[in-house]
Amino acid sequence: MIQILTYDGTTDADIFQRIHSSSGLEEAVAGIITEVREGGDEGLLRCCARFDGAAPSHLEVTPEELQAAFDGVDPKFLAILEKAAANITAFHSCQRRNSFILNDQTGIVLGQKVLPLERVGLYVPGGTALYPSSVLMNALPAKIAGVEELIMVTPAKEGNISPMILAAAKIAGVDRIFKVGGAQAVAALAYGTESIPKVDKIVGPGNAYVAEAKKQVFGLVDIDMIAGPSEILIVADGTGNPRHLAADMLSQAEHDKLASAVLVTDSPQLAAGVNLELERQLPLLPREDIARHAIEHHGKIILTANLETAIQLANRMAPEHLELCLDTPFDYLDQVRHAGSVFLGKNCPEALGDYLAGPNHTLPTSGTARFSSPLSVDDFVKKYQYTYYTGEALAAVAEEAAYFAEQEGLSAHARSLLVRLEAAVSIP
């Protein structure tokens, strides 16, 4: 069902879909942002009525609503959410950064302070599928970083948010939750309204409207990344199990018609076997239409001469998720340069990472793993640096620094360096 390509060293590495942008999207989103910036809550509610069918009767989820939702969720699911939260917390706790002080020169103290962001907005998608896992993956690193106030927004259907989403928010310690989604929610977080406080940074995945809104408000606030459709690239040799590999490809294909699933192997037998398995398993999926579209339009099976070439190709593609379905995957890990998250061995389906393993599932897509990283505690802190010199320490370097300034033609800089010196009698 997928065309099997033989890699000749020139196969286009630009296989993953670029960030989706439809015509008119930019203008439509700019209009929504203006409506919220100028109209505040009124503009926001108008947009909710227009794009989500109805405006919620009240914007903020009350503590009673939150508790009732939590109490209504299947206890088995609550226990799994708690377990996922514990694993995500354990992993992300290792990412904490310390401030430092450098005072190895007499009379000089240098330092860098790491501080949590004060207020962060978390977008949780709520259109076609529900992602309580994304609540945990985005909120927990923020809590670990020490963010003072975490504001969540998500679309409400008929005035209500899914109890599973609310339960995940309660477990993760989200501070306030608002029943708004889409570009209007991003605008409200960026500019603030009477009800929704302005935040310093907006994180979380969303559809094309959400992504475009994040792009347009970047600069006024920070954003995490523009996440495109899901991607998986599997490197496997002839010992791979076609049934398992096809299942892994379909796990990401079912996210989105634009999702990509790629197998790179040195085994023609495995390639053919996975192809047959894809066709066999697709009709078993409730989201067959989405997964079939993704596989048929953005699925690839690529044959390489050996595994080293397979990994070189993976590096060129810089996939969001990379599975090394090999018997000795650690032998190959050092060859990996560009990927969002790597899954090692034959017992590590990528879906483990979506929910439970602990590493983050908000990852760079569309080849951006070449220069960007998974969402982490780093996304929720900022730094400032500081410098202290005694008079003696300044005197020891002032002339050199002033000379440097003169070379740049900046004599006021030079003057400020020399004017404090004891011997600065000639400086007026």
Ligand X SMILES: N[C@H](CO)Cc1c[nH]c[nH+]1
Least Å from the CB of residue 214 to ligand NAD: 11
Region class of 148: left (phi > 0), else alpha (psi between -120 and 50), else beta: alpha
Segment 25 to 54, residues that bind ligand NAD, using CB under 6 A: 28, 51-52
* Phi, psi dihedrals of residue 175, rounded to the nearest 5°: -85, -45
Q: Name the segment binding ligand X (CB under 6 A); options: 98-106, 130-138, 325-333, 380-388.
A: 130-138
User: Is 354 near Zn ion (CB under 5 A)?
Assistant: yes
Strands 100-102 and 4-6: unpaired
Question: Which parts of 174-311 are beta strand (E)?
Answer: 176-178, 201-203, 222-223, 231-236, 260-265, 299-303
Annotation says 350 is catalytic? no
Binding-site sequence positions for Zn(2+): 252, 255, 354, 413
User: Is 343 near ligand X (CB under 6 A)?
Assistant: no
Least Å from the CB of residue 320 to ligand X: 6
Segment 177 to 236, residues that bind Zn ion, using CB under 5 A: none
d(CA 361, CA 350): 10
User: Is 155 near ligand NAD (CB under 6 A)?
Assistant: yes
User: Is 267 near ligand X (CB under 6 A)?
Assistant: no
Least Å from the CB of residue 350 to ligand X: 7
d(CA 312, CA 315): 5
User: Is 131 near ligand X (CB under 6 A)?
Assistant: yes
- Count the Cβ atoms, other than its own, within 10 Å of residue 207: 15
Nearest to 120 by CA among 384, 359, 381, 364: 381
Please list the residues that pair with 219 across neighbouring strands. none
Region class of 345: left (phi > 0), else alpha (psi between -120 and 50), else beta: left
d(CA 5, CA 355): 32
Please list the residues that pair with 344 across neighbouring strands. 324
Annotation says 422 is catalytic? no
User: Is 256 near ligand X (CB under 6 A)?
Assistant: no
Nearer of residues 266 and 354 to Zn ion, judged by Cβ: 354
User: Is 134 near ligand X (CB under 6 A)?
Assistant: yes
d(CA 139, CA 380): 10
Contact pattern for ligand X over residues 224 through 243, marking x by CB under 6 A: ------x-------------
Contact with ligand X (CB under 6 A) among 11, 133, 207, 241: 133
Nearest to 260 by CA among 1, 6, 11, 18: 18
Instruction: Identify the sign of the CA torsion 97, 99, 103, 109.
Output: positive
Nearer of residues 129 and 333 to Zn ion, judged by Cβ: 129
Among Zn ion, ligand X, ligand NAD, none, partner that 358 touches (CB below 5 to 8 angstroms by kind)? none
User: Is 361 near ligand X (CB under 6 A)?
Assistant: yes
Least Å from the CB of residue 315 to ligand X: 19
Segment 318 to 337, residues that bind ligand X, using CB under 6 A: 320
Chain residues binding ligand X by CB under 6 A are: 131, 133-134, 230, 252, 320, 354, 361
Catalytic residues, which ones?
Answer: 320-321
Chain residues binding ligand NAD by CB under 6 A are: 28, 51-52, 125-129, 131, 134, 155, 181-183, 205-207, 209-210, 227, 229-230, 255-256, 361-362
